[in-house]
C-alpha cells in the first residue's frame, strides 16, 4: 500500500550494517540506521516528498533580550521528486524492461557500470513482484559483456552463482542463491578476481507497515 515501507538490511564488507526503510510511494519519510561503522553509526530520517516539496527543519540562532542566542527551528520547503521503492507499472516482460530502466533510472544500457549499478540498487532496496523480478533477471541475462561465475562468496561468506560486468579495472558481480535465485549480495573484484569490497543482503526488500518496524 502507498503508506507502507520497504525494509532492507545490508552488511558492508569489513565495516558495518545498514538498515533502511524506504517509502513505497516516495511520499512518506525515509529512515536509515547504521551500526558497527567507525563513526559509531546512527539514525537519519529524511521527510518524504509530498506535492513536489520536502519539508526540512532549518535551525536559526535568534538573539533575545540580554544578548543571548537561542535556537529557533523553522521548517523550509525544498523541491524534490518522489523516489518510490515499489513500481506498480514495472513490466513483467524482459522486452519492456530496457525502456522502464531508462525512464525511471536513466540507465545507460551501453554502459555496464550504469546497468550493474541500477539493477543492483533495485534488487537491494526496491520491492518487486515475482514476475517483475523474473523479467529483470531475463533482461540482465541478455546484457552484453555478461560474466558468469559458477561459485563465488558474498561479503558474508555465503556462496552462490555470480553474474557480473567488467567496469573499468574491476568487476561488479551480483551473487545469487543457486537454489532460490535470491540476491545474496554484490561483490567488487579486481583484475585478478580477488574480492576488494562487497555487500551482503541480510534481509531482502520486505514490506512493513510502520517506519522503524522490523519484519
Q: What is the pLDDT of residues 116-172, one digit of tens each?
A: 778 888 998 999 999 999 999 888 888 777 888 899 988 888 999 998 888 778 888
CB count in 10 Å sphere of residue 148: 11
The model carries a pTM of 0.83
- CB 191 within 8 Å of CB 5: no
Residue 168 pLDDT:
78
Residue 193 pLDDT:
81
Helix axis angle, 94-105 to 130-141, nearest 10°:
90
Burial (0-12, 13-18, 19+ Cβ within 10 Å), 189: buried
- The residues, any chain, with a CB within 8 Å of residue 36's CB and separated by 6 or more, are 15, 16, 17
Residue 74 pLDDT:
66
Residue 176 pLDDT:
92
Q: What is the pLDDT of residues 11-65, one digit of tens each?
A: 988 788 999 999 999 999 999 999 988 877 899 999 999 999 998 776 555 555 5
Amino acid at each position: 500500500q502507498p503508506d507502507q515501507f520497504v525494509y532492507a538490511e545490508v552488511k558492508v564488507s569489513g565495516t558495518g550494517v545498514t538498515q533502511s526503510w524506504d517509502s513505497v510511494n516516495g511520499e512518506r519519510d525515509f529512515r536509515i540506521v547504521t551500526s558497527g561503522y567507525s563513526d559509531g553509526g546512527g539514525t537519519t530520517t529524511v521527510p518524504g516528498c509530498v506535492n513536489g516539496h520536502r519539508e526540512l527543519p532549518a535551525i536559526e540562532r535568534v538573539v533575545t533580550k540580554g544578548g543571548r542566542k537561542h535556537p529557533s527551528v523553522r521548517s523550509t520547503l525544498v523541491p524534490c521528486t518522489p523516489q518510490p521503492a515499489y513500481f506498480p507499472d514495472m513490466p513483467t516482460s524482459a522486452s519492456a524492461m530496457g525502456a522502464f530502466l531508462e525512464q525511471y533510472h536513466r540507465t545507460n544500457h551501453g554502459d555496464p557500470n550504469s546497468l550493474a549499478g541500477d539493477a543492483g540498487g533495485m534488487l537491494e532496496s526496491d520491492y518487486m513482484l515475482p514476475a517483475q523480478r523474473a523479467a529483470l533477471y531475463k533482461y540482465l541475462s541478455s546484457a552484453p559483456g555478461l560474466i558468469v561465475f559458477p561459485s563465488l562468496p558474498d561479503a558474508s561468506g555465503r556462496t552462490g552463482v555470480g553474474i557480473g560486468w567488467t567496469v573499468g579495472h574491476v568487476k561488479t558481480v551480483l551473487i545469487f542463491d543457486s537454489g532460490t535465485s535470491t540476491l545474496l549480495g554484490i561483490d567488487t573484484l579486481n583484475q585478478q578476481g580477488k574480492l576488494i569490497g562487497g555487500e551482503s543482503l541480510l534481509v531482502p526488500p520486505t514490506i512493513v507497515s510502520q517506519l522503524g518496524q522490523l519484519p
